[in-house]
Structure 1
């Protein structure tokens, strides 16, 4: 779904609402594919605020630390000592 609220460099862009709906749909589809194919899937539970992100997609330093900790915790049981 593409909803434009303006143009940047003469190109349409996604509204924030459309972006989040698209990402949620993508993540759900990815999880379904992983589940069907017995592939590990780490669902990062990060607050979608400036506490974790510096824009709509990229982690800031705090978000990167939170994400890396969640990834480590998910993989830790699989690591051989």
Structure 2
């Protein structure tokens, strides 16, 4: 079962997942780190593990295009205007 977004695995890493069945490539970008390419499965989900901590900001890049969060979150101080937390 996939859950969209970032999910902490421990104090230093998280699993990122995004459903993008029409995408050719998906990566996650965290502040001050190189992009991490996410791997696709047969159902259109892209996922991978990246080093990060709770509260780190991130965004996805789909087919080379920067993607901001698609909906505001009560816990996100940047809502639509910046990377998610």
TM over 0.5: no
Higher helix share: 1
* Structure richer in strand, relative to its length: 2
TM-score, normalised via structure 2 length = 0.18
TM score, norm. by length of structure 1 = 0.18
Structure ranking higher on relative contact order (CA contacts 8 Å, 6+ apart) = 2
